[in-house]
Structure 1
Amino acid sequence: MNGDTLTFLGTGDAMGVPRVYCDCEVCTEARSTGVNRRLRSSVMVECGETSFMIDCGPDWRGMMEGLGIRKMSDMLITHAHFDHIGGLPEWSDACRWQREKGRLYAPAEVLDQIVRQYPWLPRQMEMTPVDNGLTLAGWEISCWKVNHGKNGYSYAYRFQKEGYTWVYNSDSIHLSPKEKEPLKGVDLLVLGTSFVHETAQFETRSVYDMKEAAELLAEVKPRQTVYTHMSHDVDVRKELPLPEGVRVAVAGMTVRLNK
């Protein structure tokens, strides 16, 4: 079996934790001991000498410095919201100074949105649409559009290699039966859950809460699940309503991608 690993670099929602304006218990703790401190959601997959990242938010540079890594060649993007692409100009600049084009992968409509926001990026990057699939570091990768509530849509990624299947789906809510289908029976599901229980009107929301996620998991039955994309509503010091086989991600946590 492969020895590939998944490392959580950021586990926060769009605003991260602490919120600059907030003095709640979670934000206060995040400023001191930092157990709840969360950068914007991003992960790194390491496959021997090869690695790639999923999403490149505005905390990308800090993540790279924290890892002591000076170079990243491959990046998958789930959707073109700032918390998932805000670091692309810094990655582009790194590529420029290293005189090597980065390889950016996303669905065609997401690439179009990225170029509209950062029109200079194609000078430093090879931009490859992945609507029809992709092979990267031995992983067979497919993607599909998922409901992102009031924020429109995102994409989820499904990875298969040597009999192991996992899905990264950081930004979604109220998935349709068709959108749920690729989640069924996977070995690992990484799922965004911004709140333990969000009380805002459903029409204003964009990501599952943990109560809704538990209902989804009971239906699609992954072997194990990791929650990410968490707001300051989630206090990892406290006992959380987690179904069996579920844990919450913390920065630096590593999961082995094999059975």
Structure 2
Amino acid sequence: MKVKSYAGSLKLTFLGTRGEVEARSRRHRRHSALLVQCDEARIMIDCGTDWLGRLDAVAPTAIVLTHAHPDHAAGLAEGAPCPVYATKVTWDLIRRFPIDGRRRLPLRRSIMIDGVRFKVFPVEHSVRAPAVGFRVSADDGCFFYVPDVAGIPDAAHALRSINVYIGDGATMKRSMVRRKRRTAIGHAPISSQLDWCEKGNVQRAIFTHCGSPIVRGDARKLNAMLRRIGHQHGVEARFACDGDSLSFADSGYRRW
């Protein structure tokens, strides 16, 4: 069977930017989810509890899951209106969800989803619900999306020649990483992720899946602090807010 080649311009919309925290704000109200648009494709990455019963407004043509934690997958507990892509271990963990269009994500390989290329990278975050990050590409750009991460074992490959890194905004400088069964679990601080970007020559970074201090904090001061830390690593960095969008055609970033 011939695989459809990708074409068109990428547009990203941050549907939600809040992590699994009780805090909410106007800027970070719903669980982190990203809408990837390219031609007719409307691919939703992650679908947490906040999205249960709300998918009609998104109208996704496909849903792709990073892992099985509730803030990333529980919005599918009553089913899905489109095909859903997940790794085998994630499908095992959400096997009771009444989803008809189940698709398997191959680890360390590329897969075309509605004409957009996804390459699947295992990342360190959880032992019970192993996570992946996605290297997503179309004609005019490439980005890496990893909203929950303690470490990226193959960071050199995952981040090579990407236009933007979209990472875990749980904590600015305080490490939330611990080790279990020789595996790092939890959340790498933004400062560490910017170090990964510097080593990979990534010049732009956006942080989603925001933790309580960022959700509750002063946006102006937090973004100023993030810009300073990013500048130390040679990276233009900012926080995403619900409704923000990024167009690869003109490199434009705007807030709705």
Please give the TM-score of this superposition, normalised by the length of structure 2: 0.78
Instruction: Report 1:90-105 matches (<5 A).
Output: 90=78, 92=79, 95=81, 102-105=82-85
Q: Which of 71, 74, 85 matches 1:83?
A: 71
Give the stretch that moved more between structures: 154-163 or 51-60.
Answer: 154-163
Q: Which of 16, 20, 24 matches 1:14?
A: 20
State how far apart, in whole Å, the 2-side matches of 1:200 and 1:163 are: 35
User: Which residue identity lines up with residue 226 of structure 2 in the other structure?
Assistant: P
State how far apart, in whole Å, the 1-side matches of 2:172 and 2:92 are: 34
Q: CA deviation at 1:16?
A: 5.0
Q: Which of 111, 126, 129 matches 1:134?
A: 111
Q: Which of 161, 174, 195 matches 2:171?
A: 195
State how far apart, in whole Å, the 1-side matches of 2:97 and 2:131 are: 23
Is 1:114 matched up with 2:97?
A: no
- Paired residue secondary structure (1:197): coil
State how far apart, in whole Å, the 2-side matches of 1:17 and 1:188 are: 27
| Alignment correspondent of 2:36 | 45
Q: CA deviation at 1:153?
A: 3.0
| Alignment correspondent of 1:186 | 162
Is 1:237 matched up with 2:225?
A: no
| Alignment correspondent of 1:23 | none
Q: Structure 1's 14 and 151: CA in aligned 2 closer, same or farther, altered over 3 A?
A: farther
- Paired residue secondary structure (1:80): coil
The total of aligned residue pairs comes to 227
Q: Structure 1's 78 and 215: CA in aligned 2 closer, same or farther, altered over 3 A?
A: same
| Alignment correspondent of 1:207 | 187
User: Which residue identity lines up with residue 72 of structure 2 in the other structure?
Assistant: H
State how far apart, in whole Å, the 2-side matches of 1:81 and 1:232 are: 18
| Alignment correspondent of 2:47 | 56
- Structure 2, unaligned runs of 5 or more: 1-6, 252-256
CA deviation digits over 1:125-170, x for unaligned, max 9?
Answer: 2111120432123211110110115766310011122152111111
State how far apart, in whole Å, the 1-side matches of 2:63 and 2:149 are: 20
State how far apart, in whole Å, the 2-side matches of 1:199 and 1:140 are: 32
Contact 1:195 1:233 in 2 (8 A): yes
CA deviation digits over 1:42-101, x for unaligned, max 9?
Answer: 011122333110001011147647xx44x33310000011111110024x1x64xxxxxx
User: Which residue identity lines up with residue 31 of structure 2 in the other structure?
Assistant: R
- Paired residue secondary structure (2:191): helix
Contact 2:89 2:130 in 1 (8 A): no
Q: Structure 1's 245 and 199: CA in aligned 2 closer, same or farther, altered over 3 A?
A: closer
User: Which residue identity lines up with residue 190 of structure 1 in the other structure?
Assistant: I
- Paired residue secondary structure (1:84): helix
Q: CA deviation at 1:38?
A: 2.9
Contact 1:103 1:128 in 2 (8 A): yes
Q: CA deviation at 1:8?
A: 0.3
Is 1:217 matched up with 2:194?
A: no
Q: Structure 1's 225 and 16: CA in aligned 2 closer, same or farther, altered over 3 A?
A: farther
State how far apart, in whole Å, the 2-side matches of 1:190 and 1:63 are: 24
Q: Structure 1's 149 and 79: CA in aligned 2 closer, same or farther, altered over 3 A?
A: closer
User: Which residue identity lines up with residue 87 of structure 2 in the other structure?
Assistant: P
Q: CA deviation at 1:5?
A: 0.7
